[in-house]
Amino acid sequence: MADSAVARRVAAARAEAGKGNMHREKDLAELVERLQRAAAQNLRAVVLYGSAAADEFREEHSDLNVLCVLESTGAAELKQLQPVSRWWWRKGHPAPLVFRLEELRRSADVFAIELLDMKQHHRMLLGEDFLAGLEVPMALHRLQVERELRVNVIRLRQAYLRSQGRRAEMDEWIIASTSSFAALFRHSLIALGEEPPASRRACADRLAALLGFDVTAIRAVLELREGKSRDANYDQLFAAYLDVVTKVAEEMDRRFASLTGENRQQ
């Protein structure tokens, strides 16, 4: 009886996921159609990136992130896309990123993390795959990883300071932080010369093994994000989580400083 009940729940979850996927594909197809009508020949490419392109999409937390490459990005051209962007936003998705192709290529030095992620996990909805040949400067990537780790630790402290301790509120900002830190753990592995595993949990486990920290709090927050744990002691969880991400930021800073010193000596 228990096995059959589990099987029914699994089947229902798969059916629901299938419906969600069909709905997302319909939205994406309609978005491309509307963009083509609005921008006409000015539209060079449309790219899906982020969790939906990396098979980590979660309906309750994830967005459909889209990049539009235009020939011209002046005010008149953006105005043409406003109705499409507002329609997309009303569906619960962020407004598309808009770049010219040359502008995007020249931005690789300041958006190294974002463009490396995009290069590795994307799906072309329209146009040729220009990301495959995009060069990302890895020395600058390392600097951005270090900076973003520090910035996100500071943001986590700020979120705690302005919170009123309500469970739903803490749920929201703790879960929101996991996407940033999970991405930065993955990029920390890349910066250390590692090939990162596919899943967020495996990346956290591997980085913990390399840097020597306890991964328990990271796993607990990831489970919270996945809806698997709602009985956490939030004060204890936050304390352990903050301690871990602070240690990661400090250890990566130390290791990058060591790498920089070695490079200067060579």
Domain coordinates in residue numbering, the chain: 2-128, 138-261
Type and span of the H or E element at 100: strand 97-100
> What would the pLDDT profile of 202-235 be if each residue is shown by its tens digit?
999 999 999 999 999 999 998 888 777 666 677 8
Q: CATH assignment of 2-128? A: 3.30.460
Same topology between domain 2-128 and domain 138-261: no
**Could you say which of 4.10.860, 1.20.120, 1.25.40, 3.90.550 is the CATH number of the domain covering 138-261?**
1.20.120
* Residue linked to tokens 């798969």: 14
pLDDT higher than 80, residue 58: no
Q: In this structure, how many other beta carbons lie within 10 angstroms of the beta carbon of residue 143?
A: 15
pLDDT for res 131: 93
Please provide the average confidence, as pLDDT, over all residues in the chain.
85
* Residue linked to tokens 């920390």: 188
pLDDT interval class at 57 (50, 70, 90):
low
Helical H segments across the chain, by residue range: 2-39, 75-90, 101-106, 112-120, 138-162, 167-191, 200-211, 216-225, 234-265
- Rounded CA-CA distance 82/92 in Å is 15
DSSP readout, 157-206? HHHHHH----HHHHHHHHHHHHHHHHHHHHHHHHHTT----SSHHHHHHH
> What would the pLDDT profile of 79-128 be if each residue is shown by its tens digit?
999 999 999 999 989 999 999 999 999 998 889 999 998 998 899 999 99
In order of 71, 99, 101, 127, 209, the CA distances from 68 in angstroms are 10, 6, 10, 10, 39
Using an 8 Å Cβ cutoff, are 39 and 83 in contact?
A: no
Q: In this structure, how many other beta carbons lie within 10 angstroms of the beta carbon of residue 70?
A: 21
